[in-house]
Structure 1
């Protein structure tokens, strides 16, 4: 087995761990999956953000979140307000160059929140189709997330537009 192939497999495992951790709602484990300045041997107190691997995240419909505080707070909010979430990943593509890896995929998301009547039941499940780009950096502890960017996929119109066009 060649080293690049091994890297691709390791990145695939790191990407899968990210989504499985979200499904379980394990905030501590999720936090450990994201890059820290210390992962790159950079002083936490003073550093040039361009050199330190400052993390970023874009959730569908949200502004860009930058830095561990903002990014991890967003996941804490999502986890606190989502009773159930499951990801079915399709179209997963991994590219590794040196210590950086890029993963693109389609997130087929099934989620639900609390029941509207305040019972212990799960509210209605909602499906969502999202395309995502996850960027990973190699660290001494393995591959860690550097950036996550997700964007909703608009529903396709199945009707033939030419039928409505006058001739």
Structure 2
């Protein structure tokens, strides 16, 4: 197996782990998946990791969050206020250049109240369609998230579709 192909597989695995950690509400795993100042030789003795600006995140509808403190705090809030979330990733594309990898994908998200019991309909769960770009950096500990940017996909209304259709 070639090194570039192996890198793509490792980045895919890191990307999958990111979404799995969110689904499971595993804050410790999620934190470990993000790049830390020590991963990029920032001396935490002299630089506050929250201010180092090492990582960034944009959740749909949110401003840019920079630094581990802000980014991880946002995920803690999301996990604390989301009873259930599941991601079905589609249109996933991985590109690796040197020690940097770019993953683009569509997040088909189910979220809402408590997880449905086996055999139950999805009921109150809301579906969202979001496109995401995840940037990873190679570290001694493996591929780590450097940046996550997600944006909602706005679907046209049926009225707009009817207006565009020829009569």
> What TM bracket, shorter-length normalisation?
0.7 to 0.9
Q: Tell me the distance in 1 between the aligned counterparts of 2:53 and 2:99.
A: 12
Aligned to 2:29: 29
Aligned to 1:128: 128
Aligned-residue offset at 1:72 = 0.2
| Residue-by-residue CA offset, 1:7-51 (whole Å, 9 max, x unaligned) | 00000000000000000000011000000010122211335x9xx
Is it true that 1:96 corresponds to 2:96 in the alignment? yes
Structure 1 unmatched ranges of 5 or more: 115-121
Higher mean displacement: 37-46 or 88-97 = 37-46
Q: Secondary structure at the match of 1:21?
A: helix
- Normalising by the residue count of structure 2, what TM-score does the alignment of the two structures yield? 0.86
Q: Tell me the distance in 2 between the aligned counterparts of 1:123 and 1:82.
A: 16
Q: Tell me the distance in 2 between the aligned counterparts of 1:98 and 1:104.
A: 17
Specify whether residues 140 and 157 from structure 1 end up closer, same or farther in structure 2 by C-alpha distance, changes over 3 A only: same
Specify whether residues 161 and 62 from structure 1 end up closer, same or farther in structure 2 by C-alpha distance, changes over 3 A only: same
Aligned-residue offset at 1:64 = 0.2
Q: Is residue 137–residue 146 contact of structure 2 (8 Å, CA) maintained in 1? A: yes
Specify whether residues 157 and 99 from structure 1 end up closer, same or farther in structure 2 by C-alpha distance, changes over 3 A only: same
CA-based RMSD of the aligned residues comes to 2.4
Q: Tell me the distance in 1 between the aligned counterparts of 2:166 and 2:77.
A: 45
Aligned to 2:163: 161
Specify whether residues 163 and 142 from structure 1 end up closer, same or farther in structure 2 by C-alpha distance, changes over 3 A only: closer
Structure 2 unmatched ranges of 5 or more: 115-121
Q: Equivalent residues in 2 for 1:12-161 (5 A)?
A: 12-46=12-46, 54-113=54-113, 124-157=124-157, 159-161=161-163
Q: Secondary structure at the match of 2:72?
A: helix
